[in-house]
Amino acid sequence: MTDVPNHPRLMLRKGVYYHRASVPLDIRDTYPKTEEVFSLKTKDPREAVKLVRKAAAEVDARFDEHRRRQNAMVTMRDELTDAELKAVEQAYYVHLLEEDDQRRDGGFYDGEMLELPAPTFDEYAENVAFGLKLAEHYLPRRASSEFYDDEADEVLSWDGFDISLSKSSISRKKVVAAIQRAEIKAYKDIALRNQGELIDTPVVDTPVVRRASGVMLSDAAKAWVADKRPGWTDKTAKANEVAIGWFIDLVGDRFLGGYTKADGRAFKAALQALPANWTKQPQLKGLSFSKAVEKSAQLGLEPMSLKNAAKNMQFVGAFWTWAEGNYDEVSGSPMVKLSLPKSSARDERDAFTSDDLAAIFSAPLYRGCLSLHNWKQKGNVVPVDSGRYWVPLVGLYTGARLAEIVQLNVEDVRFEGDVAYLSLMPGAEEGDDRRVKNANARRNIPIHSQLVAAGFLEFVQRATSGKQKRLFPDIDKAADGTYSSAFSKWFGNFLKACGVKTKKNSFHSFRHTFEDACRAGGVPMEYINAIQGHAQGGEADRYGNGGYPVALLKAQIEKVRLVSLR
């Protein structure tokens, strides 16, 4: 079937013109087919253009009608999310305070204004006290009444909710309880107002639940992951799925068009309240994201780093950017322009000190251990064909990221004249899982003479002779689909064994150590950026370090002086 340029839906097959259109993503799961393809029954191109325009309009109308029917089918709800119940409670609380404002603005009966059908102040206070007593009676008993049942339906019909809850829904009691909690809070505040205290009526954002239709966030999130999955590692896919799952747990699963900046702000605040690795914290284990946020705030736990919080915000922001391009009902991202104060990489991780480096490279792994398995114990084995031996050395004298090093193939060690260098490029063939962080990370790093002196090129030659593909085949993939995760965990244990582990050092500290050594050696910043794969700005960013000859970078990298590896 061949595309015809006159119209995007006009196709030519065996001399006959056809209409062909993919079903929109938001209705693909419920539509009976994936494409609308049918013959226009003409071989005349001019007539075909006229016919396809009419056919396209009819098909689009068919898509819209299907969309309308689907929306009508989901009007009746069986259950509300925690976020929706919180919204009901807040809305009813504000409603009661607004009614109180109106009563006070209208005045109380004082014996002179007979035309006002208003209670006296004391009568009003008694009514408030009675309402409070009634709510406090019903709430702990999880009881309801005809009044509360009617109020539940009334609140859910308000603009901003527009929810029809089935009579058998288990959420009905929860809605009633939310109303009763709102009454208790509101009546107590009104009683304080009666005593002369200033209690402001909250000004709230558009309710958490807005009138919307179309695709639910959870379904769109699945479509997003499926769309992006081919370009993600297992680790990246998991991280994105977790982040959007947290967002849904916190603000609720609703139609895509029902989210606002208030949801984004809530997610940002929640991330700033949670500790790192919160799912492993004994006090928070087993809790949902939203419950963990509340518990963490109560306990005053130390929050995760700004970098980790920002990373999860970026994951969720990436989803909304994608959704805006794929769904008509998404006109903007709840995360747009939300940011956290930037922390420098140095604030996150320390460089290694000279004493740290001395301890690391005089460990049994480098001076002689019992075996590769028993690397902590002294012995006569120096595992010079192991990735555990070489990866830290390469990190020290190249400043490359751990993920970049452990994925190297033997062919990535190359020569330009007599200069050996590492070629850090993404895999070019299907199934080749070598990746780089971004365009700037595509680069060539000359191999320092200290690495050469330590026998690195001989190690590469042995790998070449052994016809192995990967440079460090003994470093296996972890469960998350990356080579770096398991090695990172091992390296943390290695630092502990060396007596130098702190909260602020890791393998990434080699990168900071290398940069500090470059500065100390007088390497200009543009060369440091080129070697480390940093963004440089301007024209330089277009070329990575491809604009610098390897020989020139070699001269710069030789200015670096760290520990002797002999």
Predicted confidence band of residue 561 (pLDDT cuts 50, 70, 90): confident
CATH no. for residue 226? 1.10.150
Average pLDDT over residues 253-262: 83
The pLDDT, as a whole number, for residue 496 is 95
Query: Residue 47 is inside which H or E element, if any?
Result: helix 45-73
Mark whether 91 and 69 lie in a shared domain.
no
User: Which residue, 343, 377, 397, sits at the end of a domain?
Assistant: 343
Percent of the chain with pLDDT over 90: 34
| Contact between residue 323 and residue 248 where contact means Cβ atoms under 8 Å apart | no
Which one of 305, 320, 343 terminates a domain? 343
Q: In the predicted model, is pLDDT for residue 436 greater than 70?
A: no
Rounded Cα gap, residues 21 and 33, in angstroms: 11
pLDDT at 255 over 50: yes
456 lies in some domain: yes
364 plus 500 within the same structural domain: yes
**Do 85 and 69 fall into the same domain?**
no
Contact 215, 26 (CB under 8 A): yes
Quickly tell me which residue has 């799925």 as its tokens.
241
Average pLDDT over residues 390-412: 93
Residues 6+ apart with CB under 8 A from 556: 518, 523, 524, 527, 531
Within-domain flag for 209: no
Above 70 in pLDDT, residue 456?
Answer: yes
Residue at which a domain ends, from 40, 73, 106 = 73
Tell me: do 381 and 363 sit in the same domain: yes
Q: For residue 108, is it within any domain?
A: yes
What would the pLDDT profile of 491-535 be if each residue is shown by its tens digit?
Answer: 999 999 999 998 888 999 999 999 999 998 899 988 888 898 876
Sign of CA dihedral 195, 197, 203, 204: negative
* Mean pLDDT, rounded, for 543-553: 71
pLDDT, residue 153, reads: 83
Residue owning tokens 């799952």? 245
Assigned domain for 290 exists: yes
**Closest by CA position to 156, among listed 75, 251, 250:** 75
Digit-coded pLDDT (tens) for 262-280: 888 889 988 988 888 888 8
Q: 238 and 105, same structural domain?
A: no
pLDDT reported for residue 166:
73
Q: Give a yes or no: residue 212 inside a domain.
A: no
Q: Is there a domain that residue 305 lies in?
A: yes
pTM (predicted TM-score): 0.50
Helix (H) or strand (E) run with residue 356 in it: helix 354-360
Better pLDDT: 71 or 387 = 387
Q: pLDDT digit string (tens) for 320-375?
A: 999 988 888 888 888 888 877 765 554 556 889 999 999 999 999 999 999 999 99
> Which is higher by pLDDT, 37 or 207?
37
- Closest by CA to 38, choosing from 59, 65, 8, is 59
State whether 61 and 80 are in the same domain: no
66-70, 251-255, 559-563: which range is least confident on average? 66-70
Mean pLDDT of the chain: 83
Indicate whether 258 and 318 sit together in one domain. Answer: yes
Q: Is residue 509 part of a domain?
A: yes
- Structural domain tally of the chain? 4
**Do residues 45 and 4 lie in contact, with contact meaning Cβ atoms separated by under 8 Å?**
yes
| Whether 441 and 553 share a structural domain | yes
Distances (CA, A) of 125 to 132, 146, 192: 11, 24, 10
Q: In terms of domains, do 402 and 445 share one?
A: yes
Asked whether residue 441 falls in the same domain as residue 322, the answer is no
- 427 assigned to some structural domain: yes
Whether 454 and 396 share a structural domain? yes
Q: Is the pLDDT of residue 128 over 80?
A: yes
**Domain interval for residue 457:** 348-557
Question: 69 and 80: one domain?
Answer: no
